[in-house]
Amino acid sequence: MATALIWVEYNRFTIGGPDTLPGTTELPYANGLVAPTTDPVAGAVIVTGVQDDQVHVDARALPARPSINADVWQDVAEVGISWPGGPMRVIGADVIPPSALTFTPHQPPGPYRLLVCGRERDAGETRAPADPIEQYLVRVWPGRAPDRLIKTTSRTSTYWQLATPRQGETFTEAATGFRCR
């Protein structure tokens, strides 16, 4: 298990490999929390409430799906990624020193499930230093399954689900086509 305060910018951080550059122009419009990306290739993007600040990330690789107490999280979603192989990293803003967290050893290539839980997501830009820090739980394990939106209660999540991607922006909708309400 690896935990860290990660710097984010433009309301996002990503999951990628050791040679993945920070940043993506993609966002999880489908569920307002997490989506697989095409850039970074075979990665994922998590959208945050804060635009330019730190969030707390707890990331871990597991052999199978964990049980999660959704009651303590605002938003919970699970998507699939097609991992090319290698260690997995949480990658934050493009800053100096780099803000990144390697949370797995080398993972073999193949399909993986990515579960993300988020809370304290709605203070956003109005978050004062004394306010709770946004928190994210990231869990990965090998396997295939339909993508799931398990819980969505934050205003942040709702905002991005209702937003419309601009022409040219990617929009990743899971095979099940789930969309909140």
Partner 1 sequence: MKVHSSGLVRLALVAGATLALFVLGLSSTADASFAPAPSVRAGDIFGSDVAAGKAEPPPPVKLSGAKKDSRAADSCEPQALRAAATKAEPLTAEVAEKIGDSELAGGRGVSCVKPVLAGATGRSERDAMLAAQKRKAPGTVEASRRAATGLKDPSTTEVVDIPEWCLEHADGQWRGYRTEQCRIGDVLVVYYVYHNGVWQQVGTALALEYSFAYTSDLIDRYAFQLTVRKYWGRGAGNFEGWFSVVAGAYCTNDCKESNGGTGLRPGRFDRGVVNDAESYWESTRSSEPGDIGYSYPSWEWHVDGLGFVPTQARTTTTPLIRCDNAFSTDGNESGDPETFAARQPTVGAGCVFPRATPVMTYSKTGSYPTLAAHIEAAQNSGLPGKYPDGPTLTRLQDPVKKRANGRTACPPSWVRPTGKSCDEYPFRSTKQGASTQEPQGTARTFAPPDLAWCEMDSAWGVPTGVTGPTGWSSCMIPKDDNSQGGAQLSPFYHGNRILDGDPFLVRITS
| Binding residues among 113-132 for partner 1 as defined by CB under 8 A | 124-128
Binding-site string for partner 1 from residue 68 to residue 107, where x marks contact by CB under 8 A and - marks none: ------------x-xxx-xx-x-x-xxxxxxxxxxxxxx-
CB 90 within 8 A of CB 15: yes
We find the least distance from the C-beta atom of residue 71 to partner 1, in angstroms, to be 26
Closest contact distance (angstroms) between CB of 70 and partner 1 is 23
Angle ∠(13,134,3) on CA atoms, nearest 5: 70
CB of 83 to partner 1, least distance (A): 7
Nearest-approach distance from CB 24 to partner 1, in angstroms: 7
Q: Which residues, including other chains, have CB under 8 Å from residue 97's CB and lie 6 or more apart?
A: none
66 or 146: CB nearest partner 1? 146
User: Residue 3 or 153: which CB sits closer to partner 1?
Assistant: 3
Distances (CA, A) of 44 to 69, 72, 91: 23, 23, 10
Q: Which helix (H) or strand (E) holds 78?
A: strand 75-83
Q: Is 32 in the site for partner 1 (CB under 8 A)?
A: no
Instruction: Identify which of residues 23 and 118 has a Cβ nearer to partner 1 in the complex.
Output: 23
Contact predicate 86/61, CB 8 Å = no
Piece of the chain touching partner 1 by CB under 8 A; list 49-57, 69-77, 113-121, 132-140: 49-57
Residue 164: how many other CB atoms lie within 10 Å? 8
CB closer to partner 1 out of 24 and 152: 24
**Interior/surface letters 97-125, b for 16+ CB within 10 angstroms, e for the rest:** eebbbbbbeebeeeebbbbbbbbbbbbbe
Task: Restricting to residues 147-166, name those near partner 1 by CB under 8 A.
Answer: 147, 159-160, 163-164, 166
